[in-house]
Chains A and B, each alone.
Chain A
């Protein structure tokens, strides 16, 4: 019998960070990252995700709370005594050392004499064997990024921390490196904690995503879970796009809640509603744009029974190849987004046409109406 290895668990209990100037970057936070998982901290800049990462690395001391790695408490250990390594945002490769020495740095500091074999193997893993004697500035951005990963991984850390490691790369290279990092993580089986502001990156790579906002974790779960069943307007808007419609609770009917919006009835499964529901109370009804079907108003009677419906008029349509994105004006909400796959295009669906929007109640989610309906949208970020 072997006990399950949990030495790569990261446990944060009640950690917070308040800077000398009084700014609280992270509010008391509890988080457990299980051994071997790929965990992403996702949020806009300034949400406290990097501070959280730096507290795990030991580069920032928490104001309150404790950090555990496995069973070991490391809260007050300096970074060079923690079995954790970081891939920094700008890579932070040592400019005065060549690639070989950059990768060998951690081994040499721990007094390991024969580093040649290990460094060469590691450089081969990241496909940089040929570049060993070059200086960092002679490599491309993607190559530097791989050196940074190799320099951290060669130490076999219990946890690898990645601080926006792909932020400086162009889109194509970023996609490539996302797959590459995921492959390396699966291969070495180390716990990865990845900080990013790119929701697509987080969803592609991570097993579990924690969405952070203003120093707090808004919601934590698998990418599918977060996307299909967001608990707050911030998560609903920050991860992809959501249509949020204000509605009033009409009746509760078994496992479903019946809501009223603009004179029509909408059905919402009780299990998918994170808000308190009492008759007469307000709820935000959410639906993702790709879950909605569009039917021209003339064919409204062909829509199957039991679907949620809204009426509206097409305000704008943009064809983007794989799908067409519509903006619909509706009495309940003036800018509803609808994405329709270009399978059988209905030629009547042009701006100005009256349409019926309909979707399966199972895809509906409900949110507390007391929140800012625009939290996490791009407009808010720009403001």
Chain B
């Protein structure tokens, strides 16, 4: 009986820990296998501990090149989608114009449409236009599907914003530009940041649309897919682990900053 009671009292904690384990286990496997020294070409069975891959992260032909392309596309797609998406969100919330309702729902289409359908139709479009497939077609495609996520994130923030704040700024001698920079933008910033982070992750991650519209360009997800056919270099796990660590560090950093701020204010 004491065991049952003990379980009862800790049920929420246990359930939480189990869920966390479920979420993190794949990451743990990726990390552990980045220290493996596989026998054959496939990194699927544990052999022995080794730091070889960490010492030479770019030791595999073409991998770091594809990583660099993916990072570049992700950065530009994030910038493009965030700027455009923020403007669209403001327009949708603040202004009344013809077809506003239609735009409002159409903007969510890329989120709802099966990715493979969109990928195929984009390819058709690019081919018909005679566009050269490669870096720029990937970028255009990524900006397009990131847009809806940015619009959603920013719109929620702008909608909850009191329009009187901007009136107050104008009343207190801030011109239109100053009002935007000093009041509108800082208040909308969390929504914009969320949209940007989401865009970066989506773009860096994307395989289907990219694969259709890449031409001879190879992004990191495409490289991983390609190599998985022939053998998986340990370096893939190194890159995966490194990205995971960067994400964790960013999260920790923002948590520390928020904590400091609340403590400072209290």
Contacts and interface: CB of A to CB of B under 8 A. Distances in A.
A and B associate: yes
Interface in B164-181: 164-165, 167-175, 178
B92 interface: no
A78 interface: yes
Greatest chain B CB density within 10 A among A105, A110, A152 is at A105
Contacts of B174: 80, 105, 109
Given A86-B168, A109-B178, A155 B187 contact: no
Contacts of B173: 80, 106, 109-110, 155
B194 interface: no
A211 to B, nearest CB: 26
Contacts of A134: 265
A80 B165 CA distance: 14
B172 A135 contact: no
A95 B166 CA distance: 12
Interface footprint category on B: 20 to 34
A273 to B, nearest CB: 44
Contact of B187 (A59, A96, A151): A96
Nearest to A148: B168
A109 B162 contact: no
A105 B187 contact: no
A37 B169 CA distance: 26
Given A90-B164, A94-B165, A95-B187, A80 B171 contact: yes
Chain A, interface SS category: loop
A105 B265 contact: no
Contact of B175 (A80, A84, A133): A80
Interface string A85-96: 110111011111
A96 B186 CA distance: 7
A138 interface: yes
A78 B169 CA distance: 12
Contacts of A89: 164
B164 A155 contact: no
Given A78-B170, A96-B187, A109-B174, A90 B162 contact: yes
B162 A79 contact: no
Contacts of B170: 58-59, 78-80
A92 B170 CA distance: 12
Interface in A262-298: none
B183 interface: yes
A57 interface: yes
A88 B244 CA distance: 47
A131 to B, nearest CB: 11
B187 A79 contact: no
B164 A88 contact: yes
Contact of B171 (A85, A90, A95, A138): A85
A94 B265 contact: no
Interface string B136-174: 000000000000000000000000001011011111111
A37 B183 CA distance: 33
A79 B171 contact: yes
Interface string A146-183: 00000110010000000000000000000000000000
Contact of A133 (B167, B178, B265): B265
B265 A138 contact: yes
Contacts of A110: 173
B165 A92 contact: yes
A135 B171 CA distance: 21
10 contacts: A58-B170, A80-B170, A90-B162, A92-B162, A92-B168, A96-B186, A105-B174, A133-B264, A151-B172, A155-B172
Interface of B: 162, 164-165, 167-175, 178, 182-183, 186-187, 189, 264-265
Given A92-B162, A94-B169, A105-B172, 18 more contacts: A78-B170, A78-B175, A80-B170, A80-B171, A80-B174, A86-B171, A88-B164, A88-B167, A92-B167, A95-B187, A96-B187, A106-B172, A109-B172, A109-B173, A133-B264, A134-B265, A152-B171, A155-B173
Interface of A: 57-59, 78-80, 84-86, 88-90, 92-96, 98, 105-106, 109-110, 133-135, 138, 151-152, 155
